[in-house]
Amino acid sequence: MSPITLGLIGIAVLILTFVLSMPVGFAMALVGLVGFCYLVSPQAGLSLLARDVFATFSSYSLTVIPTFMFMGSITFVIGMSQRLYDAGYTMFGRIRGGLAMATIVGCAGFAAICGSTNATAAAMARVALPEMKRYNYDDSLATGSVAAAGSLGILIPPSTIFIVYGI
């Protein structure tokens, strides 16, 4: 079988695995491994698989990501996100829309601590949304400001995405 035909079969199998709801990374690894085993040899494919899995999981550079997630969890548990939110409210609370601005300031501070967009949005949503509902903010404004400010986690160092790109 020619490599072009094998490539087309690989693309078809890849699309089939996507349709069957297999995660993208596993689907690509499966199709790549089977194709490599067919083109070279099964022994070489399994050797490559073992080496790549070990090299990926033994990368010490990626150990900072769970550390940032742990640090974000600790800061949420000890109430640091509430204090960051209160600091933002002290600065902007008197201004119209000040609670939304305080949410953005709190998210920026929390993002600098934990480095994760999802963790920032989740932690600040638990803090900010009840306060904004208490002050009769529109639900779309409240959730929109948390979602928009939660994305600051990707822009403010130490961002996990920047770490992965840097590696």
Mind listing the pLDDT tens digit for each residue in 64-123?
Answer: 777 777 777 787 788 877 787 778 778 887 888 888 888 888 888 888 877 778 778 888
Predicted confidence (pLDDT) at residue 56 exceeds the cutoff of 80: no
| Average pLDDT, rounded, for the chain | 83
What one-character-per-residue DSSP string does 80-114 give? HHHHHHHHHHHHHTTSTTHHHHHHHHHHHHHHHHH
Predicted confidence (pLDDT) at residue 159 exceeds the cutoff of 80: no
CA–CA dist 130, 85 (Å, integer): 12
Band (27; pLDDT cuts 50, 70, 90): very high
Quote the Cα angle for 115-121-124, to 5°: 105
Q: What pLDDT shows up at residue 6?
A: 87
pTM of the model: 0.55
Closest Cα to residue 48, out of 61, 31, 36? 36
Distance of CA 125 to the CA centre of its chain: 16
Band (19; pLDDT cuts 50, 70, 90): very high
Q: Which of 14-18, 39-43, 46-50, 53-57 has the highest mean pLDDT?
A: 14-18
CA–CA dist 130, 117 (Å, integer): 20
Closest Cα to residue 71, out of 112, 109, 113, 118? 113
